[in-house]
Chain A
């Protein structure tokens, strides 16, 4: 399974839930799969998608928050797993697309090749699901609807030849429409 297919499957399932997406190809895939006001496309500040998602989850306990993260991103901010695991937001679903590389910068390897990100998250109080195929991803997405967070869906993906187009929205607009949408 490639990341874009996985992103599309998840987007189809979650529809109106809040999404915070990591920089690089992940945000691009979300932008082309399910563009909406309640998406926060983090185009810079690599590593921080899960922290931003945590801040939102703590303040919007009635909403479900999906963080679309990558292996390179979370490895830059492993402390975030600790903070999330300490505060245990029930409404946070942390999806990590793990291709074991920095695909956006040319496919250089990450250290996810040598360690298992799921095992790190398990020791910080996450409930873990690991998937490799489209069928198992769909099954898990149904299952997590009744599971309390923090949840990690560790999605193992392969490198892809296609890339989605850039997020062509002004960052101020991304933030202001997101804030307005969350007011309601």
Chain B
């Protein structure tokens, strides 16, 4: 996804009353994160589970929050998602960069990237892929789920190699 759209996604969330963006950096999402840093709305935690804990606290305090992370870090957090976010029905939006989407991505991303769709399915975490064309629709959908106390994931595919 190109730089302009990533910055637009951040602005869209901010305009729609998302007050905090908490997570762990990911290169696929770097322009989104940069836009957030420029707006002083980003909190970077040491690990994804920790980030989810902080985000959960903010949401419990009434302050809407979006999480950002790589799919590897998302996978680190499975038990936190089931035993905190889903168990307590905390309306959290996950924005996840999908490494290993391309089959020739770096070897450490290959397996976790391959099982990513199945992982989301087994977690029963509703999700949508954001593209340059569909991002606004996807973000709107996530915000509507948030209002119904349903946690969801939005996925951005890494479509380049470096």
Q: Which A residues are closer than 8 A to B by beta carbons?
A: 20, 40, 42-45, 47-60, 77, 79-80, 82-83, 171-172, 174-176, 178-179, 182-183
Chain A residues closer than 8 Å to B58, beta-carbon distance: 55-56, 58-59
Chain B residues closer than 8 Å to A40, beta-carbon distance: 60
B26: CB under 8 A from chain A?
no
- Verify B46–A82 contact, CB threshold 8 A: yes
Q: Which of B46, B54, B87 touches A171 (beta carbons < 8 Å)? A: B87
Chain B residues closer than 8 Å to A183, beta-carbon distance: 62
What sequence of 0s and 1s flags, for each residue 42-82 of chain B, a beta carbon within 8 Å of any chain A beta carbon? 00011101111111111111110100000000000001101
Closest residue of chain B to A84, judged by CB?
A: B54
Q: Which B residues are closer than 8 A to A by beta carbons?
A: 22, 45-47, 49-63, 65, 79-80, 82-84, 87-90
- Verify A48–B84 contact, CB threshold 8 A: yes
Residues A56 and B61 in contact in the complex (CB < 8 Å), given A48-B49, A51-B54, A79-B45 = yes
Task: Determine how close the nearest CB of chain A comes to the CB of B91; give it in whole angstroms.
Answer: 10
- Complex Cα gap A80–B47 (Å): 9
Listed A/B pairs (17) with beta-carbon separation below 8 Å: A45-B53, A45-B84, A48-B80, A50-B53, A51-B45, A51-B51, A51-B57, A52-B60, A55-B58, A56-B60, A59-B63, A77-B49, A77-B53, A80-B53, A175-B90, A182-B60, A182-B62
- Complex Cα gap A57–B50 (Å): 15
Interface of B (DSSP majority class): helix
Known: A20-B57, A43-B87. 17 other contacts (CB 8 A): A44-B79, A45-B79, A45-B80, A48-B50, A50-B53, A51-B51, A54-B57, A55-B56, A56-B58, A58-B54, A58-B58, A58-B61, A59-B63, A77-B53, A171-B88, A175-B89, A178-B60
- Complex Cα gap A183–B59 (Å): 12
Chain A residues closer than 8 Å to B62, beta-carbon distance: 59, 179, 182-183
Chain A residues closer than 8 Å to B87, beta-carbon distance: 43-44, 171
